[in-house]
Structure 1
């Protein structure tokens, strides 16, 4: 009677341990390291802030690991249920959500959650699944349906109001639609239509949203009020010069001139302390991150995974561009964190999930090839 040979433990566990893409993991580690150093400096007056940040990084790492194990085929199967649940929760927020600081963004389902965060991943998943089912026969009707699937959650999020998250979800869905083959002629038409509808959009905006745009145009009109954030952040960026003032030596941050300095405005703290040299390194790391993500997307084995990887990568670009733009005074101030730099639990988990999806696509491509 032959005994079944037992496989070595390492060989059994290998598919569940070595799941990370080495290049992508290294880039993320370097950005997280810069972020942790900056959070320590920015949050030195907030006891426990660094410990909380490290805990959030660990949770994001676990989420990344789980996502990297799940094959793209399984992600396809959860696309429709996740999108449906996300929209249902957004409707629940609109009906009986919790109100904090004038915004209705949270829902108590035993624990307090922010359903709009779910849509940052659910939206590209849903649209990538939708176009995968119609690969090779995508017509204008399909693009119209996809646009409707996108507009519904974006409208619900904008109504909360949460302009920053609405922009990110809109961008995530748009990237999938564009990568699915949206014509440049249609894109130009949409841009012209959007420009023509600006008076209507302006009338639908809340007062604080209009104030943000007017403050962007000339922050000196209210230097101690609505223009304070932009003025102080640009002073911090400029005062860093080429070499920076040095770690823990940023005056704008430590004299509490920079608002939200561990979250939305952490780029101002980093710029002041590490200067142009530090910013160049950070921008280079983001370029590497985006380049690696686009490489994974270009080599993905299926239409679904190509669309999903491309959209996730461009979401990272949107996070970084919008955050740096608003802190530098070239975009209105919206609540968008700097990816893998800003303090925050939910955003880090979302970013970790997106990175894990990229790693899953790359890992299973290699498994298919082997």
Structure 2
């Protein structure tokens, strides 16, 4: 057993609840209007999230650093198992079904904290020298970044994979790596970018084309209409037609911003 440090509340940021709780309330109100089943799950997610937060807030992680690699590799195993036991939704296999309950687990989301903790653990064990990490240490750390990146990108989930990729190498950039390594990587990336583009999935290429196109695609047009419909003060539930008539795609997650504006307007 471990003792709880009585001074732990001195390290707590008491402003955070005032920033987080309104988001929790907003999300529950919006999702409950759009999908009753999903709102019930949302309550469970909130409860689990709060319990996990409390555990790690009180948990003296410095005394149990050896658990971090175990946590990381368990998540790698979960990512690998998605290939064999994963549940497909919207054309991607990213979830594992939890037995006996109507819930799924997305290993790529759990990988985010595991991944950051693992980098912290490795850097703590081997701090960078004055001139930054050399090639050998850089490649060793890069392995722990690229392994989950490849597994998640394969699902495919390029968005989450890119977040891990950028976060990992941003951490290395801040911690310190030989400048020659960065320069070499930039040159290699620029030179190989056409090859990388050609090996993307068609939908990924379309997203890039839509991003740089002057003409917005269907999803963006519907989001703009929803935002315009919301106006200054928003619409009542029955008048939020973009969402409730299903014009706005995936309103409870990908387009939750447009849905929020349609309901609560610019002021909201």
Residue in 2 aligned with 1:172?
Answer: 167
SS at match of 2:148: helix
Mapped pair 1:251 → 2:241: yes
* Partner SS, residue 249 of structure 2: coil
Structure 1 residue aligned with 2:86, among 94, 98, 114? 98
Superposition deviation, residue 240 in structure 1: 3.2
Aligned pairs for 1:79-158 within 5 A: 79-94=68-83, 96-101=84-89, 102-107=91-96, 113-137=105-129, 138-140=132-134, 141-158=136-153
In 2 relative to 1, CA 58–99 (structure 1 residues): closer, same or farther, beyond 3 Å?
A: closer
* 1:200 shift after superposition: 1.4
Query: What corresponds to 1:232 in structure 2?
Result: 222
1:13-52 pair list within 5 angstroms: 21-41=13-33, 43=34, 46-52=35-41
Q: Work out the CA distance in 2 between the residues paired with 1:178 and 1:113.
A: 31
Distance 1:196 1:272, change over 3 A: farther
User: CA offset at residue 80 of structure 1?
Assistant: 0.9
Q: Secondary structure at the match of 1:276?
A: coil
CA distance, structure 2, for counterparts of residue 228 and residue 267 of structure 1: 16
1:256-267 equivalences in 2 (<5 Å):
256-267=246-257
| CA–CA separation in structure 2 for the residues paired with 1:231 and 1:14 | 53
Query: Following the alignment from structure 2 to structure 1, what is the Cα–Cα distance between the partners of residues 75 and 97?
Result: 14
Change (3 A) 1:202 1:184: same
In the superposition, relative to structure 1, how do residues 55 and 192 fare at CA in structure 2: closer, same or farther (>3 Å)? Answer: same
- Give the one of 208, 211, 215 matched to 1:216: 211
Indicate whether 1:196 and 2:191 are aligned: yes
Gaps of 5+ in 1: 1-11, 279-370
Higher relative contact order (CA 8 A, sep 6+): 1
**Cα distance in 2 for residues equivalent to 1:109 and 1:133:** 35
Aligned residues: 257
The secondary structure found in structure 2 opposite 1:27 is helix
Give the Å deviation of 1:246: 3.5
For the Cα contact (< 8 Å) 2:234–2:261, is it kept in 1?
no
Task: Decide whether the 8 Å contact of 2:133 with 2:178 is kept in 1.
Answer: no
After TM superposition, the score normalised by the length of structure 2 is 0.81
Alignment of 1:66-85 (within 5 A): 66-74=55-63, 76-85=65-74
Gaps of 5+ in 2: none
